[in-house]
Amino acid sequence: MSKICVTAHANDFAACVTGIDLTQPVTGVLSDQLRAQWLRYQVLYFPDQPMTHGDLERFTESLGPFGHDPYISPVPGHPNILEVRHEPDEAAIPFGSSWHSDWSFQAAPPNATVLHAKVVPPIGGGTHFADGVRAFETLPQALRRAIEGRRAVHSARRPYSHEGYRAGGKRTSMRITPSDDAWQTQCHPIIRTHPESGRQSLFLNPVYTLGIEGMDADESSQILQELFEHMLQPDFVYQHRWTENMLVLWDNRTVMHSAQGGYSGYRRVMHRTTVAGSVPV
């Protein structure tokens, strides 16, 4: 077995992994190595991986069982793969363009998201990632005291209720099904302890986090604004550039992400899976 090569980015947030063929099963020692690197760097990317649907499914399952992906119709015949597509003539903003953590409104949000690039536009279309671990470690003491022991209220209502979906602009290339279920809420600790690494991070995001449980709306809004401004400082953000057949894996428990635009007039196609998670603590 060839040895994998891991090249880290600044602040040990995100790393490039080469020397591995993800079209082959990832098992045993190799699986343990990859998981250790993923937990350390939070975002891993693998260039030059021309994967089929079956390859993507097998790699995802090497990390754990599939997560549940609501509101979006999957690829026909592959219920655990979502196609993130934007056509050249589509007017809607890119899917996932606001900062978020995937499905944080669920009782047990996914541990991981896996995204595989099929069609990459020649300009734009990058993905930005924000490090919730370093954001927590550098949090001003007054702000930390304000959120210690607090829980945030999460909901899918902004993008996936009927009202929210209509406000986001019509999509012609993805089958999204808004629902009244999106009005439901779920509360999670703002300071989350990672169940595997033990590291603490901030676990909230501008899309799905509505407020802070038990707190006055104005005070809650002010604290959330301060938290988001802190979390999205350039020093905590890794700006990822895609190439065709690249696969990216990130830890949804500690990382926010945002899909970038800038490719009007070009097609962009990605295939996405999630790995089931646990209840945040």
Mind listing the pLDDT tens digit for each residue in 101-150?
Answer: 999 999 999 999 999 999 999 999 999 999 999 999 999 999 999 999 99
Comparing CA positions, the residue from 39, 99, 107, 42 lying closest to residue 68 is 107
* 2, pLDDT greater than 60: no
CA distance 234 to 164: 29
In eight-state DSSP terms, residue 196 is: T
Report whether 151 contacts 203 (CB < 8 A).
no
User: Tokens standing for 154?
Assistant: 């999460």
* 217, pLDDT greater than 90: yes
Give residue 188's pLDDT: 98
Mean pLDDT of the chain: 96
Comparing CA positions, the residue from 220, 251, 33 lying closest to residue 133 is 251
Give residue 167's pLDDT: 66
Q: Which residue has the tokens 């597509």?
A: 85
**Range 209-215 contact pairs with CB under 8 angstroms and sequence separation of 24 or more:** 209/104, 209/152, 209/153, 209/154, 210/152, 210/153, 210/154, 210/155, 210/157, 210/185, 211/152, 211/153, 212/147, 212/150, 212/151, 212/152, 212/153, 213/150, 213/151, 213/152, 213/153, 213/187, 214/150, 215/150
Give residue 186's pLDDT: 98
Give residue 164's pLDDT: 85
pLDDT digits (tens, 9 = 90+) for 180-202: 999 999 999 999 999 999 999 99
User: Tokens standing for 84?
Assistant: 């993130």
Element (H, E) at 34: helix 28-41
Report whether 25 contacts 146 (CB < 8 A).
no
List the domain boundaries for the chain: 5-275
CA distance 150 to 190: 6
* 3, pLDDT greater than 90: no
Give residue 93's pLDDT: 84
**Angle at alpha carbon of residue 69, lines to 65 and 75, rounded to 5°:** 95
Give residue 1's pLDDT: 43
CA distance 271 to 54: 12
CA distance 36 to 197: 9
Name beta bridge partners: 5: 18
* 264, pLDDT greater than 90: yes
- CATH code for 5-275? 3.60.130.10
Report whether 91 contacts 169 (CB < 8 A).
yes
pLDDT digits (tens, 9 = 90+) for 5-54: 999 999 999 999 999 999 999 999 999 999 999 999 999 999 999 999 99
Give residue 165's pLDDT: 82
